[in-house]
């Protein structure tokens, strides 16, 4: 699946990455300002985009297919909503707390899962994620079927001055968090650590024979991915106003796989494109097609795997002959 | 004499569900020599090799390296002790450039391999050393080429350069000539001879010409057991060895 990753660029940030980054930020800002798209919808897309980028860090740059990333996104959403509703913490602390919860969960689940490879790795992550789902369904503090709502009297002021009740402010706040997460991932990929991750992805037995304890590298990458997925999930609560069972259920794990696949696994900007396309389709078709949304998503999945396995950005990168 | 032995196995045995692949093998590899492990197909060479490199754990027996017991060490640990292996199928990192391939090996000793918050620009300080290693194996002009695009023989050379980057005391080569044409064999043979000057080499190899040319000592395995040991002249005259080979590959002595 990852054998077709484009050749890795030389050291340093290539100029076209700056350009692509500028285009991405400009498009987000224009969508909100000039095109007048509903800011709350855009903020939701950005949360999913960060989620997909965090997932892609594992599949695209370590070669690990996690099928349980809903556990991190979902538990972070619950943690964030809990911190807001029960403790009355300000949004930025709720989100930080959520990321920590997801990271801790990532250390536990990752600690077990990275001992296995391929389908076994995927199944272990799925099994753990289903346990988390079961807890969310049964436990008292998660609100069961109802989920956790952020109460109407909660003071939605971030950093003491950003009023998140205002939709435009909410958008800029979420864009800021997305960009922080995105740049963290970019740095991880382009760090000495990232270089070892790529070596593990390319040829694990060889990396071992060079003296690398690959399990430790995988675990660190797993925890980073979980923390960033948690950052996204914790932020999402302030966009939709609640944490719900769908956030922690397995179709969410599948959706993030689809986003990365559609956008281009192992590319830097691909997961963002994948999230934009998929969430837009869902939002647009939810009222018009109802249950057919799943069928359409399934069709997209089949099309990706059969026709363009590099994904949107992967194909674009091939045309431009530059890794994106 | 025993101080000269760098790698030693005593009664090494590996069983797979009732099938004994390696049986009571005792080896002693002298420091600074090229030692070859040969034998007909199914003799247990690869299993033995994987036991020595810790990719398999023995059922019984002991392995010592430079006086330390490594019977239950992990493969990454023995690499850190200076015992580095190569693979039968050329082991490179396909989508990294030649330079990056070597640099990954050099990077470990820099101690920043877990630093996910630092820029990879730090690694540029290794480029000089990596370039030298590439020059040493004749890959100077390929440094910016992704490994996947190198011809087969060059991949092998790249793998050796990567292994040398660890400055190993001992190299374990798994069929270094497998799948190579004449020209590549000549070049790789010269390369192995050159790198073996100040280190110990243990190799599994099928090409008898190469074995005869390179090895100081040869251990012949058959059905998981040591059949004979000695110089090429000695083992090739050994009737048991001749019989073992006639039974399977005929003209293997070539």
B202 in Cβ contact with B170 (< 8 Å):
yes
User: Cβ of B122 and A203 within 8 Å?
Assistant: no
Q: How confident is the model at residue B1 (pLDDT cuts 50, 70, 90)?
A: very low
B153 in Cβ contact with B180 (< 8 Å):
yes
> Which of B113, B114, B172, B174 would best serve as a mutation to test chain A binding (most A beta carbons within 10 A)?
B113
Q: Is the pLDDT of residue A9 over 60?
A: no
Residue A193 belongs to a domain: yes
Residue A176 belongs to a domain: yes
Query: Which of A1-10, A161-170, B88-97, B221-230 is the least confident region?
Result: A1-10
The burial of A100, by beta-carbon neighbours within 10 Å (0-12 exposed, 13-18 middle, 19 or more buried), is given as middle
Which residues in chain A are contacts of B75 at CB distance < 8 A? 208-209
User: Cβ of A209 and B114 within 8 Å?
Assistant: no
For tokens 């599949």, the residue is A59
Query: Which of A8-22, A218-232, A233-247 is the least confident region?
Result: A8-22
Q: How confident is the model at residue A286 (pLDDT cuts 50, 70, 90)?
A: confident
User: Cβ of B87 and A213 within 8 Å?
Assistant: no
What's the mean pLDDT in B168-181?
87
For residue B176, the model assigns a pLDDT of 86
Closest chain A C-alpha to B194 CA, distance in angstroms: 21
For residue A43, the model assigns a pLDDT of 96
Structure tokens at A221: 């990458």
Which residues in chain A are contacts of B85 at CB distance < 8 A? 209
Distance CA A59, CA A43 (A): 25
What's the mean pLDDT in B140-151?
92
Give the range of the structural domain holding residue A168, as residue numbers without chain letter.
39-248
Which residues in chain B are contacts of A202 at CB distance < 8 A? 93-96
What's the mean pLDDT in A47-67?
96
Closest to B146 (Cα-Cα) out of B177, B100, B103, B181: B100
Query: Strand B5-16 vs strand B19-30: parallel, antiparallel, or unpaired?
Result: antiparallel
What's the mean pLDDT in A63-69?
95
What's the mean pLDDT in A90-110?
97
First vs last C-alpha separation in chain B = 33
CB atoms within 10 A of CB B30: 15
User: Cβ of A195 and B119 within 8 Å?
Assistant: no
User: Cβ of B93 and A194 within 8 Å?
Assistant: no
Q: Is the pLDDT of residue B52 over 90?
A: yes
What's the mean pLDDT in B34-45?
89
CATH 3.20.20.70 for domain B2-90+170-248, yes or no, is: no
Closest chain B C-alpha to A193 CA, distance in angstroms: 5
For residue A71, the model assigns a pLDDT of 97
Which residues in chain A are contacts of B54 at CB distance < 8 A? none
Chain centroid to Cα A297, Å, comes to 18
The burial of A106, by beta-carbon neighbours within 10 Å (0-12 exposed, 13-18 middle, 19 or more buried), is given as buried
For residue A8, the model assigns a pLDDT of 44
Residue A175 belongs to a domain: yes
A182 in Cβ contact with A53 (< 8 Å):
yes
Q: What are the phi and psi torsion angles at B138 (to 5°)?
A: 80, 25
Q: Is the pLDDT of residue A79 over 90?
A: yes
For residue A12, the model assigns a pLDDT of 65
What is the SS3 string spanning A16-74? HHHHHHHHHHHHHHHHHHCCCCCHHHHHHHHHHHHHHHHHHHHHHHCCCCCCCCHHHHH
Interface residue ranges in chain B relative to chain A, Cβ cutoff 8 Å = 53, 55, 74-77, 79-80, 84-87, 91-97, 100, 103-105, 107-108, 110, 112-124, 144, 146, 162, 166
Show me where the domains of chain B are located: 2-90+170-248, 93-149
Q: Which residue has the higher pLDDT, A69 or A324?
A: A69
Structure tokens at B204: 């599994």
Average pLDDT, chain B: 89
For residue B148, the model assigns a pLDDT of 93
Q: How many residues does chain B have?
A: 254
Number of domains forming the structure of chain A = 1
For A102-157, the pLDDT digits (tens) are 999 999 999 999 999 889 999 999 999 999 999 999 988 888 888 999 998 898 89
Q: What are the phi and psi torsion angles at B179 (to 5°)?
A: 75, 15
- Please name the member of A12, A191, A203 whose beta carbon is closest to the beta carbon of B93: A203
Q: Is the pLDDT of residue A198 over 90?
A: yes
Report the DSSP beta bridge partners of residue B173: B203
For B150-171, the pLDDT digits (tens) are 988 888 889 989 998 999 999 9
Residue A307 belongs to a domain: no
- Please name the member of A6, A187, A203 whose beta carbon is closest to the beta carbon of B91: A203
For residue A11, the model assigns a pLDDT of 60
Query: Which of A130-139, A184-193, A315-324 is the least confident region?
Result: A315-324
Report the b/e string of A145-183 with b at 16+ CB within 10 A: eebbbbeeebebebeeebebeeeebbbbbbbebbbebbe
Percent of chain A, pLDDT > 90? 71
For residue A6, the model assigns a pLDDT of 41
What's the mean pLDDT in A18-30?
90
For residue B250, the model assigns a pLDDT of 45
Closest chain B C-alpha to A208 CA, distance in angstroms: 5
Q: How confident is the model at residue A5 (pLDDT cuts 50, 70, 90)?
A: very low
For residue A10, the model assigns a pLDDT of 53
| Sign of the CA dihedral running B91, B95, B96, B98 | positive
Distance CA A248, CA A79 (A): 12
Q: Give me the DSSP letters along chain B.
A: -GGGEEEEEEEEEEEETTEEEEEEEEEEEETT-EEEEE-STTSSHHHHHHHHTTSS--SEEEEEETTEE-TT--HHHHHHTTEEE--SS----TTSBHHHHHHHHHHGGGT-TT-TTS-GGGGGGGHHHHHHHHHHTT-GGGTTSBGGGS-HHHHHHHHHHHHHHT--SEEEEE-TTTT--HHHHHHHHHHHHHHGGGSEEEEE---HHHHHHH-SEEEEEETTEEEEEE-HHHHHH-HHHHHHHHHHTSSTT-
For residue B245, the model assigns a pLDDT of 79
Nearest-10 crossing angle of helices A70-85, A118-138:
30
For residue A301, the model assigns a pLDDT of 83
What is the SS3 string spanning B109-126? HHCCCCCCCCCHHHHHHH
Indicate the helix (H) or strand (E) that contains A242.
strand A242-243
- Please name the member of A187, A192, A214 whose beta carbon is closest to the beta carbon of B123: A192
User: Cβ of B110 and A192 within 8 Å?
Assistant: yes
Report the DSSP beta bridge partners of residue A157: A163
Which residues in chain A are contacts of B115 at CB distance < 8 A? 191-193
Residue A323 belongs to a domain: no
User: Cβ of B107 and A195 within 8 Å?
Assistant: yes
């Amino acid at each position: 699946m990852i054998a077709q990753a484009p050749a890795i660029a030389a050291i340093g940030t290539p100029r076209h990455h700056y350009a692509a980054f500028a285009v991405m930020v400009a498009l987000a800002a224009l969508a909100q300002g000039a095109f007048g798209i509903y800011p709350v919808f855009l903020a939701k897309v950005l949360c999913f985009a960060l989620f997909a980028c965090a997932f892609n860090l594992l599949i695209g740059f370590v070669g690990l297919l996690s099928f349980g990333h809903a556990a991190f996104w979902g538990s972070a959403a619950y943690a964030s909503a809990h911190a807001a509703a029960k403790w009355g913490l300000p949004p930025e602390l709720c989100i930080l707390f959520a990321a920590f919860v997801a990271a801790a969960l990532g250390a536990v689940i990752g600690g077990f899962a990275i001992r296995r490879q391929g389908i076994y790795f995927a199944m272990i992550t799925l099994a753990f994620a289903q346990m988390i789902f079961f807890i969310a369904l049964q436990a008292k503090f998660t609100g069961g079927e109802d989920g956790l709502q952020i109460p109407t009297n909660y003071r939605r002021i971030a950093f003491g001055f950003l009023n998140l009740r205002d939709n435009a402010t909410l958008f800029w706040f979420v864009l800021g968090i997305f960009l922080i997460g995105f740049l963290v991932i970019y740095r991880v990929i382009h760090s000495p650590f990232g270089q070892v991750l790529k070596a593990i992805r390319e040829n694990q037995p060889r990396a071992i024979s060079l003296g690398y304890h690959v399990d430790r590298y995988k675990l660190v990458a797993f925890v980073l991915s979980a923390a960033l997925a948690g950052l996204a999930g914790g932020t999402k609560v302030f966009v939709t106003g609640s944490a719900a069972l769908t956030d922690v259920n397995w179709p969410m794990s599948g959706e993030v796989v689809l986003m990365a696949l559609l956008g281009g696994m192992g590319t830097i900007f691909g997961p963002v494109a994948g999230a934009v396309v998929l969430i837009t389709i869902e939002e647009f078709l939810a009222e018009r097609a109802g249950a057919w949304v799943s069928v359409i998503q399934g069709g997209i999945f089949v099309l990706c795997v059969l026709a363009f396995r590099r994904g949107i950005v992967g194909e674009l990168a091939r045309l431009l002959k530059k890794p994106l | 004499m025993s101080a000269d032995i760098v790698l030693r196995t005593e009664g090494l045995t590996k069983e797979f569900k009732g099938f004994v692949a390696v049986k009571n093998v005792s080896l002693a590899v002298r420091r600074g020599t090229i030692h070859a492990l040969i034998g007909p197909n199914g003799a247990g060479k690869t299993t033995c090799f994987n036991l020595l490199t810790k990719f398999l754990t023995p059922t019984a027996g002991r392995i010592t390296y430079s006086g330390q017991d490594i019977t239950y060490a992990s493969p990454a640990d023995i690499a850190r002790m200076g015992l580095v292996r190569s693979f039968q199928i050329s082991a490179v990192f396909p989508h990294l450039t030649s330079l990056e391939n070597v640099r990954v090996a050099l990077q470990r000793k820099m101690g920043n391999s877990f630093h996910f918050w630092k820029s990879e620009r730090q690694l540029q300080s290794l480029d000089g050393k990596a370039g030298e290693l590439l020059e040493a194996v004749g890959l100077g002009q390929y440094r910016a080429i992704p490994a996947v695009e190198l011809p087969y023989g060059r991949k092998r050379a790249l793998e050796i350069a990567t292994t040398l980057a660890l400055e190993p005391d001992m190299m374990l080569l798994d069929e270094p000539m497998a799948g190579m044409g004449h020209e590549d064999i000549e070049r790789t043979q010269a390369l192995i001879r050159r790198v073996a000057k100040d280190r110990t080499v243990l190799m599994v190899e099928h090409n008898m010409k190469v074995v005869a040319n390179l090895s100081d000592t040869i251990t012949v395995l058959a059905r998981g057991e040591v059949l004979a040991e000695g110089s090429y002249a000695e083992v090739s005259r050994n009737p048991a060895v001749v019989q073992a080979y006639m039974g399977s590959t005929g003209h293997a002595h070539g």
